[in-house]
Amino acid sequence: MDVLTENFSLYGEGFWGTVRLTLYSSLLALAAGVLTAGFRVAPVRALRAVGTTWVTVLRNTPLTLLFFALLLGLPRFGVALPFELFAVLALGCYTSAFICEAVRSGINTVPVGQGEAARSLGMTFGQTLGAVVLPQAIRTVIAPIGSTLIALAKNSAIAGSFSVVELLSTYKTLSENGYSVIWSFVWIAVGYLILTLSISALFHAMERRWGVAR
Amino acid sequence: MPAPAPSSGTRATRRGAVRRPARCLAAGLLLLAVAGCGASGSPPARGPQPGRLPHYAVDRDFSLPTSPTWRSAHRDGKLTIGVKEDQPGMGEKNPATGAYSGFDIEIARMTAASLGFDPDRQITYRAIASANRETALQNGQIDYYVGTYTINEGRKKLVGFAGPYYIAGQRLLVRRDEKQLTGPDEMAGRKVCSAVGSTPLQRIQADYPGADAVAYDSYAICVDNLLNHQVDAVTTDDTILLGYAAKDPAHLKVVGRAFSEEPYGIGVPRQDRALARALDRALVARERNGDWKRAYDVTLGLSGRPAPRPPRVDPALTR
């Protein structure tokens, strides 16, 4: 208990760091994921190629390698961004590949007839996707998207090795200052549980509100 | 294609069209990553030469029945010593041969010889990261630890210490062409890199709030960032910095006064005072017979800095 009370501000900083990383990366991942899902089913071949490449590369690259590539690679080409932005980019792009595949599987549950009906009414591809297909598709994939975002929250721990303030790396400071490693980890675990259980609860509520009953 | 859902008829042709860019991009990313990692240890390796290392006389008749750690190590016929693996000049593992070298390694070898173990055959080195040192000693994974281990009050509550065997101090490593950054008082507005959670990093954040602190898991990444102009200085104990400077003297130099005092000790299991006292006696004997200075000259001494006087062993640590 002493570990928490004596280092409350350190834990607090770490916790908010993780919350910030999770929040911004989630927003990026959701936006980029839905967009790439749209690309992957688009009628333009080039767009489909971009979508497939994005998913193939990001989903099959280890996240740590992605961090190294962005953080040590980009500055060699003159791109120097704040560390937290680097971390959000790496985490968000990585997770967007998984979101994209979840959304695409949702799109596949929407009967083809709906798309054809929209086309026959004269709707463009964008209108068909935005007004007819996606609203139905996303309702069916709320649960897998929730799981992906929980994984994102936990993956954010990798950013701690790359000069970003987040929850897991607080144990290094605490251990250096002579606190028990076990109790440091117990309180770190509690912090992650607060975050992941909140995401679970949010997605559970969304599923009850919008989920498709079968 | 009319509907957003792809029809199966075009799939075969589509897949072929998609694969090539995917492969190109993957290869590009991999190249990027390799470039990033490969350069981190890029300075040509100029470490201690194995042939010139001092030979330490083994005390075959040594016996320490009051130390449980020594008894079990003696029974097994080998000593397990925790060390660092990423600090040139102090404790570095050669990735090709797996051999360890550095001043800490020499201290480990000479003390092992004094405890009756053959330093070439009866030592098992185990690389332990800073954050896990106390746990490794408490769990008995290692018999003792020699690796830039600063003696301080917090650690004394968790482990025992022999020594100190060296006094280091926090200083700055900068690029050779650096003109402005010549000491701790000119750090304001500059990017200064150190290890996540480490005491040097905490000191920068607390005492030099003007400096822009950057933290990575290892000093190797910091040094890589320094060479690529992403940070302006790397700060930690001068022993570690001198090791990097000695490896790449054309691009790196250590500057400024030391702004801390770090007495390095040998970490031992907390309850095993007998072992700590035996290590103290071993250190005193090796300092007297010149082994300590010989070890310095072939490791840290390569950086060009002459051997300092060894610090006095502190008897209060083992009382």
Q: Is A121 exposed, middle or buried (0-12, 13-18, 19+ CB in 10 A)?
A: exposed
From the first residue on, what is the mean pLDDT of each consecutive set of 10 residues in chain B (319 residues)?
40 42 46 42 48 78 86 89 89 88 91 90 89 88 92 87 91 90 86 89 90 88 89 92 87 89 91 90 90 88 82 82
Q: How is residue A156 annotated by DSSP?
A: G
Topology classification of domain B170-255 = D-Maltodextrin-Binding Protein; domain 2 (3.40.190)
Candidate ranges A6-15, A98-107, B183-192; pick with highest mean pLDDT? A98-107
Distance from C-alpha of B71 to C-alpha of B62, rounded to nearest angstrom: 11
Q: Which tokens belong to B44?
A: 């040509």
- Residues in chain B closer than 8 A to A163 (CB atoms): 196, 214-216
CA atoms within 13 A on the CB side of A127: 9
Helix spans in A108-180 (H): 112-120, 125-127, 134-140, 142-155, 170-176
Spans of all domains in chain A: 19-165
DSSP lists the bridge partners of residue B214 as B193
The residue-averaged pLDDT of A63-77 equals: 86
Sheet (strand B86-87) strand order: B86-87, B91-93, B100-101
CATH number, span A19-165? 1.10.3720.10
DSSP lists the bridge partners of residue A60 as none
State the residue for tokens 């799981």: A147
The residue-averaged pLDDT of A161-167 equals: 88
Which pLDDT band holds residue A203 (cuts at 50, 70, 90)? very high
Nearest CB neighbour to B5, from listed A112, A173, A176: A112
Say whether pTM exceeds 0.80: no
Nearest Cα to Cα of residue A178 among B56, B67, B270: B270
Residue B165 main-chain phi, psi, to 5 deg? -110, -5
Which amino acid, A176? E
Distance from C-alpha of B202 to C-alpha of B318, rounded to nearest angstrom: 28
Distance from C-alpha of B103 to C-alpha of B147, rounded to nearest angstrom: 9
| pLDDT at residue number A40 | 94
Nearest CB neighbour to B216, from listed A57, A163, A176: A163
- In this predicted structure, the answer to whether residue A33 has a pLDDT above a threshold of 90 is yes
How many inter-chain contacts (A to B, CB under 8 Å) are there? 125
- Residues in chain A closer than 8 A to B230 (CB atoms): 75, 80
| pLDDT at residue number A213 | 66
- CB-CB under 8 Å, B130 with A119: no
Please say whether the beta carbons of B191 and B214 come within 8 A: yes
Strands in B97-157 per DSSP E: 100-101, 123-127, 144-145
Candidate ranges A92-96, A111-115, B97-101, B301-305; pick with highest mean pLDDT? A92-96
| pLDDT at residue number B63 | 83
Nearest CA in chain B to A10: B197
Q: In chain B, where does the domain assigned CATH 3.40.190.10 lie?
A: 52-166+263-318, 170-255
State the residue for tokens 């029945």: B65
Nearest Cα to Cα of residue B253 among B152, B179, B142: B179
B31 or A184: whose pLDDT is higher?
A184
DSSP string, B245-291: HHH-TTTEEEES---S-EEEEEEE-TT-HHHHHHHHHHHHHHHHTTH
Topology classification of domain B52-166+263-318 = D-Maltodextrin-Binding Protein; domain 2 (3.40.190)
- Residues in chain B closer than 8 A to A61 (CB atoms): 29
Distance from C-alpha of B91 to C-alpha of B103, rounded to nearest angstrom: 7
Distance from C-alpha of B316 to C-alpha of B319, rounded to nearest angstrom: 5
Which pLDDT band holds residue A1 (cuts at 50, 70, 90)? low
Q: Is B25 exposed, middle or buried (0-12, 13-18, 19+ CB in 10 A)?
A: middle
- Residues in chain B closer than 8 A to A119 (CB atoms): 2-3
- Residues in chain A closer than 8 A to B3 (CB atoms): 112, 115-116, 119, 128
State the residue for tokens 């065997």: B165
Minimal C-alpha gap between A97 and chain B (Å): 14
Minimal C-alpha gap between A201 and chain B (Å): 32
Nearest CB neighbour to B21, from listed A53, A170, A179: A53
Distance from C-alpha of B83 to C-alpha of B69, rounded to nearest angstrom: 17
Distance from C-alpha of B171 to C-alpha of B274, rounded to nearest angstrom: 35
CB atoms near residue B242 (< 10 Å) = 27
A71 or B277: whose pLDDT is higher?
B277
Q: Which tokens belong to B195?
A: 């290890």
Distance from C-alpha of B181 to C-alpha of B189, rounded to nearest angstrom: 11
Whether cis (ω within 30° of 0) applies to the bond prior to A43 is no
Minimal C-alpha gap between A30 and chain B (Å): 19
Helix A83-107 with A142-155: angle, nearest 10 deg: 160
Q: Which residues of B202-229 are buried (b: 16+ CB within 10 A; e: fewer)?
A: ebbeeebeebbbbbbbebbbbbbbbbee
- CB-CB under 8 Å, B22 with A52: yes
Please say whether the beta carbons of A55 and A36 come within 8 A: yes
Q: What is the ipTM of this complex?
A: 0.73
A45 or A6: whose pLDDT is higher?
A45
Mutation target to probe the A interface, by most A beta carbons within 10 A, among B1, B23, B158 is B1
CB atoms near residue B287 (< 10 Å) = 18
Nearest Cα to Cα of residue A41 among A151, A132, A142, A146: A132
Q: What is the mean pLDDT of chain A?
A: 91
What's chain A's length in residues?
Answer: 214
The residue-averaged pLDDT of A100-116 equals: 93
List Cβ neighbours of B117 (8 Å cut-off, separation of 6 or more): B58, B73, B78, B79, B123
